[in-house]
Structure 1
Amino acid sequence: AIGNSMGQSVGTAMVISVFPTSERGKAIGSQTTAVAIGGASGPIIAGLVLQFLPWQALFWMLTIPIGIAFVAGYFILDESRVSQRRTGERPPFDWVGAVVSAVTITITVILINNPFGVAVVSPLILGGAATAVSLFALFIWWELRTDAPMLELRMFKNLIFTMAIGTRFLGFLGTTAVRFMMPIYLLSVRDIGEAAVGGVLFLTSLGLGVAAQTSGRLGDRFGERLFAVIGFSVLVLTSVAFITFTIDTAMWVVMAVLLANGLAMGLWNVPNNSIIMGSVSRESFGIIGALTNLTRNVGNVAGQAIASAVVVGVMAADGFDIPLGEIAGNRAASDSFMSGWRLAYILVTAFSLLGLLLSILTKPQHTNQGGSN
């Protein structure tokens, strides 16, 4: 997870550094399409492997693409093109800010996931929350006073930048429920095999990849806000469609909504990222690229935690205090799951509507200069 996070944090900055400003959407769209290809192939390969081989085989297989990426990155990437510093320069690093922010984020994620299964008002949760808030306050105090801050907090005075970050958080808060609940719906409620489930989930990644390329390139020509608004509009519609799902919903309807949901993700994600990166200087690409990934990950974690809490809470109220993976073959438990599903997607629809509102209000402004031509 640490290695993956390090790669994600600098990936966006590296990609847009070699493209001119006029092609920023194209650059981010290409990166997102690559993510979508990985997301599309992953469920299919994993489904086939788990159908015939033990789960340990998946991790052995991961060493192949990881090894190829390492070799390619080491020998092909040109530091002079993707880095913002001159050769030999070593700017000061904000170790205090890095450590405090890392500890704060770690505690926050643990609190959201609550792996201990304790009550929300327990001393452990309350103490952890107080610690996280205190550390966050310390981080802000330090970043505003140090000469070389890890994150220039004064950038948040830029209303466009702040609104775009908020939009991004709401977008992932609303989309992550699909990745969390849809496999349970297909495997346990609909009793579909792992390989077939991988094929169905592939449609979301397919839509993401297609829309990412389209919105990125067209956003460069016609402006990012239009496609962000269209993306969130489609996201709202798919969220409403998910509310109507039942145990017997036709599979072609499920597949169509998943494809549309993937298209929505690609339509709003790439323009939003382009707006964020276009509102800061080139020297900030690295840290802001990391911030956009952090926003996505926190949105994903929070969205999964909220969806899980809603579904589990509804099922517990109905007398089904069982793991979600054990509802297969139990019609009453499946009905209870679907009740929680509908309530969760009502919340998802609300998050999506807020994201749509922010995307309408966000007017892009580009302050940096282009990359290499």
Structure 2
Amino acid sequence: MSAAPPSSARPAADDKLDAAVLKVAGVVVLGAIMSILDITVVSVALPTFQSTFDATYATVAWTMTGYTLALATVIPLTGWAADRFGTKRLYLLALVLFVLGSVLCSTAWSIESLITFRVIQGLGGGMLMPLGMTIMTRAAGPERVGRVMAVLGVPMLLGPIAGPILGGWLIESVSWHWIFLINVPIGIAAFLTAARVLPKDAPTPSESFDFVGMLLMSPGLALLLFGVSSVPGEGTVLATKVLVPAAIGAVLIALFVVHAFRPEHPLIELRLFKNRQLTVAVITMFMFAVAFFGAMLLIPSYFLQVRGESTFSAGILMAPQGIGAMFTMPLAGKLTDKIGPGRIVLSGLVLIVVGMAVLTQVGADTSYWLLLSALFVMGMGMGATMMPNMTAALQTLSDQMIARGSTLMNIVQQIASSVGAAVMSVVLTNQILGSPLGGKLMESMQSGQPPQLTQAQIPQAVAQIADGFSGTFTVAWVLVILTFIPAFFLPRHPSAKAVDPTVAAVH
């Protein structure tokens, strides 16, 4: 536990982010940018890995899947480890693991070695975001959580936008090794700054470790996400590769839920769900992440497959979304602290619904100005939705419960994002393959073979693929509308100061 002054010791009127908090925020943002950027940068490099290591797409995709599963395995441990060893020590360890994994990835001699090193990277990366949320929330106190969450939202926006641009440039201009080596200077800077800026730890060594919970939750979460992430490749949820691991993972997680109420200090504190505000925020986060992140993954694919843009250009075309979020996120953070997250999140969802409505009508020749305007509006909506909702979950928790609360929210977001990606990919694939010409063109794109179509049929095929995207965006649009239901119950007033953890867990 960091030695930040308790919230009760802070003056009520001191609601600005002082220099000490901003320094802590800078450290956390450095680590978060490095972790999130790496996910999108590697996604651009998959074709390069195929040719370099003479491997199939299904095999090189494990460089992404292995990283995600490592994240899923280590995130549940983060809350306990933060309390047991201290957030500063654990954050420094996470940075070392991530940078070490990055260096090892750059030395990979085979696809198998690259996958192994990506797992090491993921073990460090999985701890950075929940630890960062814990460190910043403790430093700022509950009355300023909205503002620090707005700061932490910056890397979440920059990653999906800058990743494809940076990855494409590094691969074309230097080599694929540099998509990993770029993390080294950033990681060293983050480590040295964290060692100097973060307050000393005051861990609680007496807290016992929930071994049974770890044996149930970590492999359960990893197996569930593996099954879900296999859906797009298999094309159906009924495939053995999907059902078997997902079912085993779900059973292990269910057993963990039963077990979690027995020990005094479970691996994940499910008693937090007795906190009504956190529960509503978790449900809102899950529904929002399934709809929004699932849809966002498809937009670059639309630019690539329908409009024929390069990866580099597709990345640039996504920039309006980030610009829109940068307009609203600082304001949303400030207003969340003053009037509560409820009104802010509902306003953000309205903007997303308006922007995504344009995508439900997308075609093969939709105006770029209209598309980019829609992305800008959706970005404004995201800036007013995601981090205020995260604030709602954490601002009523005491310092002792923040690590557990941030761990819980990160697990929910990880599951929801994976579910959203799988659902939207399957809907899109089924829509396109169900069309006579679009299905043939899509299959030729995936196989790298010339399409078995006449020149006159290709425009019709592209139009059918565009229709598949519009239909899939419609599904996401409906899910965003349904997110209004839990969001309506978020608090519409400023948060009271955090209270004792036993009180926070039962109110």
For the criterion TM > 0.5, the same-fold answer is yes
Q: Rate the CA distance shift 1:64–1:39 in 2: closer, same or farther, 3 A.
A: farther
Measured after TM superposition, the shift of residue 323 of structure 1 is: 6.8
Q: CA deviation at 1:34?
A: 4.1
1:15-72 deviation per Cα after TM superposition (whole angstroms, max 9, x unaligned): 0111132211111111112443455433332233344344333222233322322332
Are 1:337 and 2:465 an aligned pair?
yes
Q: Which residue of 2 aligns with 1:297?
A: 414
Report the AA paired with residue 55 of structure 1: W
Please show how residues 139-178 of structure 1 align to structure 2 within 5 Å.
139-178=256-295
Q: Within 5 A, what are the aligned runs for 1:37-76?
A: 37-76=158-197
Residues 152 and 323 of structure 1: CA distance in aligned 2, closer, same or farther (over 3 Å): farther
In 2, Cα distance between equivalents of 1:300 and 1:87: 32
- State the Cα deviation string for residues 318-358 of structure 1 (Å, max 9, x = none): 24261765699943442232222122112111211111221
The change in CA–CA distance for 1:47 and 1:130 in structure 2 (over 3 A counts) is closer
| 1:69-113 Cα distance to aligned partner (Å, 9 max, x none) | 233223432234xxxxx3564422223213311111111111112
Structure 1 residues 53 and 337, CA gap change in structure 2 (3 angstroms): farther
The letter of the residue matching 2:131 is V
Within 5 Å, give how 1:139-218 maps onto structure 2: 139-218=256-335
Matched residues in 1 for 2:485 and 2:475: separation?
16
Could you tell me which amino acid in structure 2 is paired with residue 352 of structure 1? V
Q: Residue 47 of structure 1 contacts residue 196 of structure 1 at CA under 8 Å; is this kept in 2?
A: no
Other-structure match for 2:51: none
SS at match of 2:250: helix
Secondary structure class of the residue paired with 1:18:
helix
Does residue 368 in structure 1 map to residue 493 in structure 2? Answer: no
Aligned partner (choices 360, 382, 388) of residue 271 of structure 1: 388
Say whether residues 1:286 and 2:377 are aligned partners.
no
Structure 1 residue identity aligned to 2:209? F
What is the letter of the counterpart of residue 166 of structure 1? Answer: I
Mapped contact 2:142–2:497 kept (Cα < 8 A): no
**C-alpha distance 62-291 of structure 1, shift in aligned 2 (>3 A):** same
Question: Is 1:112 aligned to residue 238 of structure 2?
Answer: no
1:188 to 1:49, Cα distance in 2 relative to 1, 3 A: farther
Q: Distance in 2 between matches of 1:189 and 1:56?
A: 30
Which residue in 1 is equivalent to 2:129?
Answer: 8
SS in structure 2 at match of 1:244: coil
The 3 A distance-change label for structure 1 pair 29 and 148 is: same
Distance 2:444 2:419 in 1: 20
Counterpart position of 1:83: none
In the superposition, the TM-score normalised over structure 1's length comes to 0.89
- Counterpart contact for 1:27–1:216, Cα < 8 Å: yes
Alignment partner, residue 37 of structure 2: none
Using the TM superposition, give the Cα deviation of residue 362 of structure 1 relative to its aligned residue in structure 2, in angstroms: 2.2
Report deviation, 1:124.
4.7
Q: CA offset at residue 268 of structure 1?
A: 0.8
Superposition deviation, residue 264 in structure 1: 0.8
The more displaced of 310-319 and 116-125 is 116-125
Structure 1 CA distance for aligned equivalents of residues 430 and 250 of structure 2: 27
Match of 2:215 in 1: 99
User: Are residues 1:346 and 2:346 paired?
Assistant: no
Inter-CA distance 279–209: structure 2 relative to 1 (3 Å threshold) = same
Give, as a single letter, the amino acid of the residue that structure 2 aligns with 1:274: T
Which of 1, 16, 19 is 2:140 aligned to?
19
Aligned partners of 1:249, 1:44: CA distance in 2, in Å? Answer: 23
Query: Which range moved further: 265-274 or 50-59?
Result: 50-59
Q: Which structure's relative contact order is higher, taking Cα pairs within 8 Å and 6+ residues apart?
A: 1
Contact 2:356–2:477 (Cα < 8 Å) also in 1: yes
- With over 3 angstroms needed to count, the CA separation of the structure-2 counterparts of 1:235 and 1:308, relative to structure 1, is same
Inter-CA distance 99–71: structure 2 relative to 1 (3 Å threshold):
farther
Query: Unaligned 5+ residue runs, structure 2?
Result: 1-121, 501-507
- Two-structure CA RMSD over aligned residues (Å): 2.5
Q: Deviations over 1:161-197 (max 9, x none)?
A: 2121010011111111343111111122112233332
- Write the letter of the residue equivalent to 2:472: A
Residue 483 of structure 2: SS of its match in structure 1? helix
Aligned-residue offset at 1:363: 2.4
- TM-score when normalising by structure 2: 0.67
